[in-house]
Amino acid sequence: MSTRSRPADHDRGSRPVISRARAATSAPWPPRTALVTGASSGIGRAAALRLAHEDTRVLLVGRNGTALDEVAAATGGHRFAIDLAVTGAEHAVASRAAELLGDIDLLVCSAGVGAAGPFEMMSPSALRDLVTVNVLSPMMLVRAVLPRMLERGEGRILLVGSVAGAVGVRGEVAYSASKAALIGFADALRSEVAGRGVVVTLCLPGAVDTPFFRRRGAPYVRRWPKPLPAGLVADRMLTAVAHGEPEVWVPGWMSLAARVHGLAPPIYRRLASVFG
């Protein structure tokens, strides 16, 4: 177990970023408490393991009780098995967190599902579930914990989006749209709570080596870029949160695609028609 450290002790401690982070929130780093969704697998699991290593008390949220038990044993955290697609789940999660942890210093919204294949073939129920888990559930959960964070004047929110939300990927229409919604949510929320002690960080990963692809029913087939380890993504996104950064792309060069998309849409569309 490590001792508590300030952002300056983390690996990306450039001065301007740190002073902005200090000005943006007084929430401690490492956080004393964290609520992590998607903690039973992949990126959320890796984030929970890292937070526990920093002595953060975590509430692990997912559906798979056996997987949560394994992460709980490794982290010493509490676990809460619940389907976030069910109406009212966010209230159940928020009240369990309040009961077990008290105030939440960090909310990590990593739970998410993918979908691949032609949009016209997607079943309406799968579409509804995807939007519920990827968009509505993080918004509802933030809605549930934000008032107390604002009342305390401190807190950190980490939303796990995707590069697919910034550029739109063919064959992943619903997924791209859901992650685009998260970008709009993060931008608007960050702007709205600015100066009130709560910081919002959006992580935009490219391909990550997790059960995500298997679970969506379509493997990752591109030769390049290679999927990154979940632990690396967790490290990068938590470092960004520590520094109060608004967003972090993993890998960083992927932000280039979004810049081309914004600055030169026709060029972007030509490239996308070739590379997908």
Ligand X SMILES: NC(=O)c1ccc[n+]([C@@H]2O[C@H](COP(=O)([O-])OP(=O)(O)OC[C@H]3O[C@@H](n4cnc5c(N)ncnc54)[C@H](OP(=O)(O)O)[C@@H]3O)[C@@H](O)[C@H]2O)c1
Task: Report how far residue 190's alpha carbon sits from residue 198's, in angstroms, rounded to the nearest whole number.
Answer: 8
Nearest to 141 by CA among 23, 61, 42, 239: 61
Quick check: 250 binds ligand X (CB under 6 A)?
Answer: no
Q: Cβ of residue 197: shortest distance to ligand X, in angstroms?
A: 26
Distance CA 275, CA 167 (A): 12
> With binding defined as CB under 6 A, does residue 85 bind ligand X?
yes
The answer to whether residue 201 forms part of the interface with ligand X (CB under 6 A) is: no
Instruction: By CB under 6 A, tell whether 208 contacts ligand X.
Output: yes
Out of 128, 170, 215, 270, the only residue in the binding site for ligand X (CB under 6 A) is 215
Give which of 196, 197, 245, 198 is closest to 17, Cα–Cα: 245
* 110 lies in the site for ligand X, by CB under 6 A: yes
- Out of 29, 80, 185, 212, the only residue in the binding site for ligand X (CB under 6 A) is 212
Distance CA 95, CA 111 (A): 18
From the candidates 18, 172, 174, 175, which is the catalytic residue? 175
Strands (E), the chain: 33-37, 57-62, 78-81, 106-109, 155-160, 198-205, 208-209, 228-229, 247-250
Under the binding rule (CB under 6 A), the answer on residue 211 touching ligand X is yes
Shortest distance, CB of residue 92 to ligand X, whole angstroms?
A: 11
Q: Determine the Cα–Cα distance for residues 236 and 255; give it in Å rounded to an integer.
A: 14
44 binds ligand X (CB under 6 A): yes
Least spacing, CB of residue 171 vs ligand X, in Å: 14
Query: Cα separation of 164 and 179, whole Å?
Result: 7
Using CB under 6 A as the binding rule, the residues of this chain from 112 to 151 that contact ligand X are 112-113, 133
User: Is residue 62 a contact partner of residue 54, using CB atoms and an 8 Å limit?
Assistant: no
The answer to whether the beta carbons of residues 33 and 77 sit under 8 Å apart is no
CB-wise, 13 or 231, nearer to ligand X? 231
Per CB under 6 A, contacts with ligand X among 148-167 are 160, 162
The question of whether 220 is a catalytic residue gets the answer no
Q: Which of 71, 141, 202, 207 binds ligand X (CB under 6 A)?
A: 207
Contact of 120 with 171, CB cutoff 8 Å = no
User: Is there binding between residue 63 and ligand X (CB under 6 A)?
Assistant: yes
- Span of 72-80, 140-148, 207-215, 256-264 interacting with ligand X by CB under 6 A: 207-215
31-58 in b/e burial notation, b at 16+ Cβ within 10 A?
bbbbbbbbbbbbbbbbbbbbbbebebbb
| Min separation Cβ 75 and ligand X, Å | 14
Does residue 33 touch ligand X according to CB under 6 A? no
Residues in contact with ligand X by CB under 6 A are 38, 40-44, 62-64, 67, 83-85, 110-113, 133, 160, 162, 205, 207-208, 210-212, 215
Residues involved in catalysis: 175
